[in-house]
Structure 1
Amino acid sequence: MPAIDIFKVFTLEAAHRLPNVPEGHKCARLHGHSFRVEVHLSGAIGEHSGWLMDYADVKKAFQPIHDRLDHHYLNDIDGLDNPTSERLAVWIWEQLKPALPLLSEIVVHETCTAGSRYRGE
């Protein structure tokens, strides 16, 4: 069967501040984002099922991460003391990869026009 990429999108609301930006930078102040997280998986389409993975299983794997991040102050979460979108993408990957071996990419949108992409490299 052919290889395919699939993705599922999740949203979460969270506050943070960036402690390592230059003095006076707006991101040093407490602020929040409506984050959009894309979870991408890659692999072969199942011959019998016709799909790579059930989207419900992707949602189930992501739910504990959503629960830890949504409506929380990201700086208080272990491993996110400097929660840039780049570091958040890596952190989500590290949490999710054990549950989703076919994980191929995490995309974190912190605004409608800016975000980060991590492929586990």
Structure 2
Amino acid sequence: MFRITKEFHFSASHQLCRLPDSHPCARLHGHNYIVVVELAAPGLDAHGFVRDYHDLGALKAYIDSRFDHRHLNDVLGSDMVTAERLAQHFYDWCRARLPETTAVRVSETPKTWAEYRP
């Protein structure tokens, strides 16, 4: 199996409204997010690719226009926008357009990652 990944960055705010008021994530706060999409295929196309990295430009445009410098609770219409839910959201978006998508990872901090891989 061949695998490729590509990394994307955006900054945004969110609030985990169902947490107790004493929890720091219950307050409005922001992160510099990193999104890594993984694509895989058992073979390569005629150009020697799993998928041309250029084809992932649509994901960059989507992230830049809908997520960068936005309040994620408003973007996703949820009071609990977690890294796990973002990973699943980006996976679903990618899989609908890029069938080779196998996983998406989202980081909120340099030491934390959430992954969605069905």
CA distance, structure 2, for counterparts of residue 79 and residue 55 of structure 1: 30
Note if contact 1:5-1:40 (Cα within 8 Å) is conserved in structure 2: yes
Q: Secondary structure at the match of 1:86?
A: helix
- Give 1:8's match in structure 2, choosing from 1, 6, 9: 6
* Structure having the larger proportion of residues in helix: 2
Q: Which amino acid aligns with 2:57?
A: K
| Aligned position for 2:58 | 60
| Aligned position for 2:17 | 19
Structure 2, unmatched stretches of 5+, are none
CA distance, structure 1, for counterparts of residue 93 and residue 86 of structure 2: 11
| Aligned position for 1:86 | 84
Q: Which amino acid aligns with 2:6?
A: K
Following superposition, which runs of at least 4 residues in structure 1 exceed 4 angstroms of deviation?
none
CA distance, structure 1, for counterparts of residue 102 and residue 91 of structure 2: 9
**Equivalence map 1:39-78=2 (5 Å):** 39-46=37-44, 48-78=46-76
Count of paired positions: 118
Q: CA deviation at 1:58?
A: 1.2
Note the aligned Cα RMSD (angstroms): 1.5
Note if contact 1:80-1:91 (Cα within 8 Å) is conserved in structure 2: no
Q: Which amino acid aligns with 2:39?
A: L
CA 1:29–1:47: 2 relative to 1, 3 Å: closer
CA deviations 1:13-52 (Å, max 9, x no partner) are: 0001111112310001111100000010010342531111
CA deviations 1:63-98 (Å, max 9, x no partner) are: 223321110000002354311111111111122211
Q: Secondary structure at the match of 2:18?
A: coil
Q: Secondary structure at the match of 2:76?
A: coil
| Aligned position for 2:34 | 36
CA 1:79–1:92: 2 relative to 1, 3 Å: farther
CA 1:49–1:32: 2 relative to 1, 3 Å: same
Note if contact 1:15-1:74 (Cα within 8 Å) is conserved in structure 2: yes
